[in-house]
Chains A and B, each alone.
Chain A
Amino acid sequence: MTDQDLLDALTGILRDLLDDPSIVLTMATTRPEVPGWDSFAYVNFIVAVESQLGVRFRLADVESFQTVGDIVKEVRALQR
């Protein structure tokens, strides 16, 4: 999967989760920029990403992601 594929996958998951098809994510997007993406929705997002993409994030990573790009990078590393 390319970075763009992963970005598309994450966007799709977040759109479904927050029921908001207008969400557009870029590598630089941060959580506070997306309405409704609070800490509870974040946990659910991580759980959904793990099950859809077949990865398990480490605790430290889950706590340290700043941008969507950080998540993409980590998924790629875990899928390798």
Chain B
Amino acid sequence: MRWLPSPESFRNDLAAASATVDTGERLERLATLANTRLSYLELMQLDAALRKAPKPSRSRFETVRVAILASSTADHLIPAIRVAGLRRALLIETYVCPFGQVRQDLFVKGSALHAFSPDVVLFSLSTWDFLGAQPLDAPVAAADAAIAAAVNDIDALWREAVERFDATVIQQSFLDLEAPLFGEFDALAPAGPARLTARLNTLLTERAREHNVLWLDAARAMARDGRDVWFDPVRWLQAKMEIAPTAAPAFGELVARIVAALRGRSRKCLVLDLDNTLWGGVVGDDGVGGIVLGQGNPVGEAHLALQRYAKRLSERGVILAVCSKNDPAIAEAAFRDHPEMLLRREDFAAFVANWDDKAANLERIASQLNIGLDALVLVDDNPAERARVRGALPMVATPELPADPAHFVSCLADAGYFEATAFTEDDALRSAQYAANANREAARVNAGGMGAFLEQLQMTAVYGPVTPFNLARVTQLINKTNQFNTTGLRRTEAEVSHISEDPRALHLQFRLLDKFGDNGIVGAMLLTPHASDAATLELVNWVMSCRVFGRELEYEAMNILVDAARARGVTELVADHVKTERNGVVNDLFSQLGFAHAGDIGGGKRWVLRLQGYAPRRTCITRKAEADD
């Protein structure tokens, strides 16, 4: 947890936070503490304070219910999981199955697990519980049959969790804690414990991929932190803890990362400082030729390694930005003229080089990219700048970068800011899409008038139902979209799949193309039958990516929806607008679309549209059904 700064005064800060009356402010203060490096005891204290904090009626904090079904004792991991959740503005409610009761809890109706009704089920299972010791002289076929049986056994648990709770399943990798028997030959002996565990994990990851089960790689974390951190024979014998309390902070962090990713709370944008971060030296003083970067100089290679890592992250969909105290012309020249520069100016979706305050510049970057400040990570070598940004913008992640650039990449990677739960075509194209957005912006300025600009874009909306081919992207969009999100309701992939398979439901996804490129799937609508009335559908989810705001896609989407609904004999649409911290952009949406206000619901309004009276809005978007291809 070296990326987290040390708390200034944990005891005082905790007391001050606990004494704060305003419930939202109290959680914010506790979350600030969660973003510091804490001892085991401090973690327990912070969790105790968190348990006492009432949940504010509306805030950026979101509740998620996580059940941990473990072969061994897991209660001691709970405070670390909850504090790691708080670090991401998640209020994680937890349930731990009684010792040795994984199967009973899951399969017996009326169990405590059923009463808990989890959103996420985490399986933390042990080899002694699911594989057992195999005879050492077992031939390969027999050993592999035992592993295959264990995989099927575990698969049945996953299915039950999905079918019963519509929960997202996370499987923790099995830990190899056996003492070596043959020595290095353990990996080759058919029934060698090391081989059994490794093979079980490999087969499970393959099965997990098929079933959309997520993977928590405790084995990899143990390999990194060391076995003595993760397993303590005294704790095992004393309390049957397979994961030692010393590993609790790391374990909790991994759980919270995945849960946060599921709820669209992974960071989206890597903001990089330039001097002594992306290269050695100060380009304004040393000149483009004088900075330390690239092959032949070990320090230059360390900075190049950070550039390479940033480039790889952008290839998987992380947006890159520059925030540097520099002369903009000199900073741009460094990217253009330095022969060893791996990153190019066009790799950055936002490029801010000036002498202004960094916190103000970060706000500028977030607003330029139309993403929240809590989507940013700032990598900056300067401790004073980091402290300034943490103080002004605590929601920006500012890792405590080590002094030696040799450790920049591992520090950033260990912090796990960009956890993913899927990798879609859309992610792979994101960098190109942001570059295209810069071209669109230029076109908008040249077009003079918004209407002329939209005409010139030559937009086409390609629409179709939610199918297994786009299920992952639609789920991702529903869970990552904070602004244009009418209900704020999050959905697991299983839930979206159920709706898409329900013949009474209506579901649409939209892809927007224009002359600058394909924006990918940027909108989705899910409608389910409203009460018992077959002629009324309720719009339970409507999301649209912030990348296509101001393009009239929401109007064309409603035109398309109304036509599809009419074709089904539907006469009325009901839509709830539930206000969240971030969805102010949809405040006037339904009235603009001709819906009538039909009463208030908890935290928002209900709107109704009689299809008979709906007049389609003219847009500059040509529509095209997917089947037309």
A residues engaging B (CB < 8 A)? 13, 16-17, 19, 40, 43-44, 47-48, 51-52, 56-59, 62-63
Contact = CB atoms under 8 A, between A and B. Distances in A.
Contacts of A47: 40, 76, 235, 245-246
Nearest to B45: A16
30 contacts: A13-B41, A16-B41, A16-B44, A16-B45, A17-B41, A17-B45, A19-B45, A19-B49, A40-B75, A43-B235, A43-B238, A43-B239, A43-B241, A43-B245, A44-B40, A44-B76, A47-B76, A47-B235, A47-B245, A47-B246, A48-B39, A48-B40, A48-B41, A51-B246, A56-B234, A57-B234, A59-B233, A59-B238, A62-B234, A63-B238
B598 interface: no
B532 to A, nearest CB: 49
A19 B76 contact: no
Contacts of B44: 16-17, 44, 48
A60 B255 CA distance: 33
B223 interface: no
Interface string B235-271: 1011101000110000000000000000000000000
A62 B518 CA distance: 64
A52 B237 CA distance: 22
Contact of B48 (A19, A43, A51): A19
A36 B40 CA distance: 18
A58 to B, nearest CB: 8
A44 B234 contact: no
Contacts of A63: 238
Contacts of A43: 76, 235, 238-239, 241, 245
Can you list the 7 inter-chain pairs with the closest CB atoms, starting with the nearest? A48-B41, A47-B245, A59-B234, A19-B48, A43-B239, A16-B45, A59-B237
B546 to A, nearest CB: 42
A77 B312 CA distance: 53
A17 B76 CA distance: 13
Contacts of B41: 13, 16-17, 48, 51-52
Contacts of A59: 233-234, 237-238
Select the residue from B44, B48, B76 with max chain A CB neighbours within 10 A: B44
A71 B40 CA distance: 19
Interface in B37-80: 39-41, 44-45, 48-49, 75-76
Contacts of A19: 45, 48-49
A73 to B, nearest CB: 19
Chain B: interface residue count, which band? 10 to 19
Contacts of A48: 39-41, 44
Contacts of A16: 41, 44-45
Contacts of B245: 43-44, 47
Given A43-B241, A47-B40, 5 more contacts: A43-B238, A44-B40, A47-B235, A51-B41, A56-B234
A40 B48 CA distance: 15
Given A16-B45, A19-B48, A40-B75, A51 B40 contact: yes
B70 to A, nearest CB: 15
A63 B238 CA distance: 8
Nearest to B239: A43
Contacts of B235: 43, 47
A19 B75 CA distance: 18
Contacts of B239: 43
A43 B74 CA distance: 13
A72 B40 CA distance: 21
Interface in B210-249: 233-235, 237-239, 241, 245-246
Nearest to A47: B245
A64 to B, nearest CB: 12
Contacts of A58: 234
Contacts of A56: 234
Nearest to B49: A19
A71 to B, nearest CB: 15
Nearest to B241: A43
A48 B76 CA distance: 12
Contacts of B48: 19
A36 to B, nearest CB: 11
Nearest to B245: A47
B139 to A, nearest CB: 38
Interface string B484-528: 000000000000000000000000000000000000000000000
Nearest to B48: A19
Nearest to B79: A44
B221 to A, nearest CB: 19
A75 B76 CA distance: 23
A57 B232 CA distance: 12
Contacts of B233: 59
A63 B49 CA distance: 30
A62 B196 CA distance: 33
Interface string B562-587: 00000000000000000000000000
A71 B238 CA distance: 16
B238 A62 contact: yes
